[in-house]
Structure formats: C-alpha cells, structure tokens
Amino acid sequence: MSRRPLIFAAAAALVFAGGCKPKAKEITSLQRKEAATLVSEALFALQLHDLPRAEGLYVQATALCPDEGKYWVDLGSLRVRLGHRDAARTAYKSALTAYETLGADNKDPQPLLQQVYVLALMGRVDDAKAALAKVQKLFPDNRAVRGFTEGGQFEKMLADPRFREIAL
C-alpha cells in the first residue's frame, strides 16, 4: 500500500484547516427588528424616567446586534447617568469596536467620525483629535467631515454640557 494518498490527505487537511476561521455570528433581519423594538421600548422607558428598565432593554438590544455602535453609545450614556462609569466605559469600548469594524475599509467617513465621537466620550481627546486628522486627510472634500473640522465644531462638542454629562 502506498503512503502517497495518506501524505496527500494529511497535507490537504493541514492546508484547509489552517484557513478556517470561526465566522462571526450572522445577525438576522429578525434579530435586527427585535433589537430596534427593544430600543424603542428603552426610549419610552427613558421618557418615563425609568432608567434601570431602559438599561436592561439596551443590554438586550446590544446582545442581539453587537455591531450597532449607536446602541452601545446609548447604553454607555445611560450608564453614566446611572453612575455606573466602569460599565459605561465597557459599553463605549464596544461602540468603538463596532465603529472600527464598520469603518475598516475607509470608504465612508461616517463610522470614522463616530469613532472620533466615542473616543472623546471616553476622555481620550488626544486620540480623538488624531483620528479626526486622519479622517480629514482621507476625506478632505467631504461635507460632513469639513463641517466637523471647520469652525471649531470639535471643541464646541467637547464644551457642550450635554456632551460632558455623558462623557467619562
């Protein structure tokens, strides 16, 4: 019996196994709709000043759609209002990760601008300024980028009392 087929099979197994990476769990449209419903309920709970209920609903929404940076930002800001700064920092880090993943291709400035915002929320102002400079270099003619960089909008954002209320 020849060893050649066994060697070939072993080599093929190594090649194919080495290229396999666990895929990120696909988020279904039903999960996205359910998360949106939970966020709507959370917004209603916020109107009723039921912050703990709203927090729980945001936690459920982020569990369903961990790639939605806005849900993480909203959860983080809510946790700051509740006085849970460490939990807020965790939520803001998750938002940053979501926006970094979304903006990895550098084709759309919006996720990159969102990263600037989240970095500033986390108190990493120097990192936010560096990220903003990068976005400005990548998209010098983009209206949204110019609107954020010209006229001191970044500094105005940092000085805004509503921003400072949810920043770490």
pLDDT at 99: 96
What digits encode the pLDDT tens for the residues 41-66? Answer: 999 999 999 999 999 999 999 999 99
Q: Is residue 5 part of a domain?
A: no
Q: Is residue 79 part of a domain?
A: yes
* CA dist., res. 166 & res. 150, Å (int): 24
Mean per-residue pLDDT of the chain: 87
Q: Is residue 19 part of a domain?
A: no
Owning domain of residue 54: 28-166
**104 vs 75, higher pLDDT:** 75
What percent of the chain is modeled with pLDDT above 70? Answer: 86
What digits encode the pLDDT tens for the residues 105-116? Answer: 989 999 999 999
What CATH number is associated with residue 82? 1.25.40.10
Q: Is residue 11 part of a domain?
A: no
Q: Is residue 66 part of a domain?
A: yes
Q: Is residue 18 part of a domain?
A: no
Q: Is residue 4 part of a domain?
A: no
Residue 17 in this model has a pLDDT that exceeds 50: no
29-36 — which CB contacts under 8 Å span 24+ positions? 31/64, 31/65, 32/64, 32/65, 34/64, 35/60, 35/61, 35/62, 35/64, 35/65, 35/68, 35/71, 36/61
Contact 81, 121 (CB under 8 A): no
Domain count, the chain: 1
Under the banding of pLDDT at 50, 70 and 90, the label for residue 148 is confident
Q: Is residue 99 part of a domain?
A: yes
Q: pTM (2 decimals)? A: 0.83
Contact 69, 111 (CB under 8 A): yes
